[in-house]
Chains A and B, each alone.
Chain A
Amino acid sequence: VAPMGARCPACGLAALDPAAQRHILMARAKQSILAKLRLPGRPNITQPVSRGALLTALGRMHVQRMDPVSPGMSHESSVPHLHPGVGLQEYEILSFAESGSSTSRRVHLHFRFTRELAGNVEILKATLYLFWADPGPGTHPVTIRLLQPDLTGLNMTVAHEARLEVQRAGWATLDVGQAVQSLFGQGSQRLTVELEAAEDWGSPLLAGHSDSHWPFVAAQARARMPHRVQRR
């Protein structure tokens, strides 16, 4: 090992036996990936998403991209359009619903966004995807409320409300960018969606949480611009 080896970390590796080298490089790779993903350690996956739900979600996102004004209920984008930042790391996040408290007329869904992302990114776009069960003949009014904890964190306030008339089973979308952005702004990570249907319909979502029709939020986010100090 030449004297310069002492100055060059990678050259120091050459002096080690192959097993030690491999061990050090593996540890370095883990540390590097976790640091770049802002994760304190590798996540333990408690609720892996089924392949069916993942493929259906990716397919719906593709359809939505190809035909933004899909028949569902695409709402005007309410997040002010942020021009793409050059070279900033971007994220696409798929968050599948957790079931909340529900009655015959109301369904609560929770979407949780990770702490690592909530504090470090700005939301470029976020869309809620819902699959309506067959409502039967005629049109059926459904109210969708986006709830978020108030400043005390004890009560839920309505951040956004939309009413729609459902005529048939199928996918519907709602832009929730503003609500997710304000959640992140408050340092919260959980978005609660309340669906209220008319009496005669019962649960508006596909009964039985059939895997591939489970509600999800698809969000696009971008790392925050590093804080630049302007010198004059």
Chain B
Amino acid sequence: GIDCSRDSKMCCRQEFFVDFKEIGWEDWILQPEGYHMNYCAGLCPLHMAGIPGLAASFHTAVLNLIKANNADAAVDSCCVPTQRRPLSLLYYDRDSNIVKTDIPDMIVDACGCT
């Protein structure tokens, strides 16, 4: 996958860190100190369909399909997460119990074009 830089226009992963102390949540979330709420942004013009973050062969297959099916009818595709991982939290619940859980698919590691 590609990480966004300042002037990225194409589909990439935008890093965004939420510091729990900054939002006043450090008293009830014991671990970790923050949440990497990365997100996908950017354009997916025709020639980028199916990349990056997926197997190169997938990209070739998508491009061939677009050519075979009258390319100019195809529209842009969307910039979406292609790799995600869980967010592990150790926190107090409303009865002051201490709970540990892994929330699946909360952190985006890579983005790509559908």
Contacts and interface: CB of A to CB of B under 8 A. Distances in A.
A10 B39 contact: yes
A114 B102 contact: no
Contacts of B92: 43, 45, 48
A113 interface: yes
B76 A4 contact: yes
Interface stretch (A69-77, A91-99, A101-109, A144-152): A91-99
Contacts, number: 105
A209 interface: no
A143 interface: no
A188 B88 CA distance: 27
Contacts of B91: 37, 43
A39 interface: yes
Contact of A45 (B28, B35, B39, B40): B28
A29 B98 contact: no
A46 B27 CA distance: 11
Residue picked from A11, A39, A42, A54, most chain B C-beta under 10 Å: A42
A29 B37 contact: yes
A6 interface: no
Contacts of B98: 49, 54, 93-94
**B interface residue count range (under 10 / 10 to 19 / 20 to 34 / 35 or more):** 35 or more
B35 A117 contact: no
B48 interface: no
Contact of B96 (A11, A26, A48, A117): A48
A32 B104 CA distance: 12
B51 to A, nearest CB: 17
A11 B97 contact: no
A79 interface: no
A171 to B, nearest CB: 18
B23 A26 contact: yes
Contact of B93 (A25, A28, A48, A117): A117
Contacts of B100: 91-92
A93 B43 contact: no
A114 B43 contact: no
Given A89-B102, A91-B100, A93-B98, A37 B78 contact: no
B110 interface: no
A224 interface: no
B81 to A, nearest CB: 11
A13 B41 contact: yes
Interface in A4-50: 4, 8, 10-11, 13-14, 25-26, 28-30, 32-33, 36-37, 39, 42-49
B39 A92 contact: no
A112 B97 contact: yes
Contacts of B99: 91-94, 114, 117
Interface of B: 14, 16, 18, 22-23, 25, 27-28, 35, 37, 39-43, 76, 78-79, 87, 89, 91-104, 106
